[in-house]
Structure 1
Amino acid sequence: MSGKIVFFEDRNFQGRSYECSSDCSEIASHLSRCSSCRVESGTFMVYDQPNFTGQQFLLTRGEYPEYQNTIGFNDCIQSCRMVPMHKGPFKMRIYERPNFEGQMHELTDDCNSIQDNYHMSDMQSCNVMEGYWLMYEQPNYKGRMFYLRPGEYRNLRDISSDDMRFNSIRRITQS
């Protein structure tokens, strides 16, 4: 099953629209702005900057008539990435220091506090082996988030724009 998201130029699903069922690095090439959207199927990461950069937010099936109140973006969505459906186990390794050094812990489930559960003062690299994950700035899945696909992340400081620290991690599971 693939995903489908419809972007609208104005709030409350008004104005011109653009339908998307895959990654889109620059919504501005299709619409003058994007101020509301409807996720008809699937799950999408949306970004407030082009090329999958800036603040990120996970959107699941539903309606998003305006971003300021629903997802906290000050401006409009600029790019989006479809989150593939994952069936099977989830697995990632987190490391205290860059380049997979220092303390290491293997996760197969959500973690609401890296500090409390693993006594790690910091998490600076990780290896996502299976599944798609969200890392959050604060414990209990709060604050800014960052989408992780399978792969190696040697220095998490390089992928966030302002030395953001990650304190909780959740699997992206879909029904």
Structure 2
Amino acid sequence: QITLYEDRFQGRHYECSSDHPNLQPYLSHCNSVRVDSGCWMLYELPNYSGLQYFLRCGYYADHQQWMGLSDWVRSCRLILYNPQASSHRLRIYDPEDYRGQMVEITEDCSCLHDLCRASYLASLTI
């Protein structure tokens, strides 16, 4: 569970226990966050877009503690982790919007640049 607060752990707040594509109706901004369980990805824009911020369990008194550039949080997603999962697949794309040249990774990779030979990686799917 995650709780997003407009002020420093007080005032208007919103609690989430699952993915939420649009937080705008509930909060005008987000100055602090309490993550009670799981890992979460916060997004600057609705529909899981814009800048992303990964948060683990803990207290984040202001957006700078999660390396946020502003106090805008417009969507959030619970990051599911299953250590028993037998396979993972990461697809990395050169241009944005999951188009164009794609490289698929199914094993550990110590250097993406050597594997992809791309100067700019713009989007990915897991």
Which aligned runs of 4 or more in structure 1 are off by greater than 6 angstroms? none
Pairing partner for 2:67 from 59, 66, 71:
71
Identity within the alignment, %: 32
Distance in 2 (alpha carbons) for counterparts of 1:31 and 1:93: 33
- CA shift, 1:31, in A, is 2.2
Provide TM-score, normalisation by structure 2. 0.75
Question: What number of residue pairs does the alignment pair up?
Answer: 120
Distance (Å, rounded) in 2 between the aligned partners of 1:26 and 1:66: 20
User: What TM-score does the superposition give when structure 1 sets the normalisation length?
Assistant: 0.57
- Of the candidates 22, 35, 42, which is equivalent to residue 38 of structure 2? 42
- Asked if the contact 1:9/1:36 (under 8 Å) is kept, the reply is yes
What displacement does 1:73 show? 2.5
Give the strand-richer structure, 1 or 2.
1
CA RMSD after TM alignment: 2.9
Alpha-carbon distance change, 32 to 24 in structure 1, aligned in 2, over 3 angstroms: same
Q: Which runs of 5+ in 1 are unaligned?
A: 125-136, 138-144, 150-175
**Quick check: which one's helix share is greater?**
1
Unmatched runs of 5 consecutive residues or more in structure 2: 95-99
Go from structure 1 to structure 2 and tell me whether the alpha carbon gap of 1:72 and 1:95 turns closer, same or farther (over 3 Å shift): closer
Question: Residue 2 of structure 2 aligns to which amino acid in structure 1?
Answer: I
Equivalent position amino acid for 1:108 in 2: E
Counterpart CA distance in 1 for 2:40 and 2:123 is 13
Cα distance in 2 for residues equivalent to 1:7 and 1:67 = 11
Q: Which has the higher contact order (CA 8 A, sep 6+)?
A: 2
Preserved CA contact (<8 Å) 1:24 1:79: yes
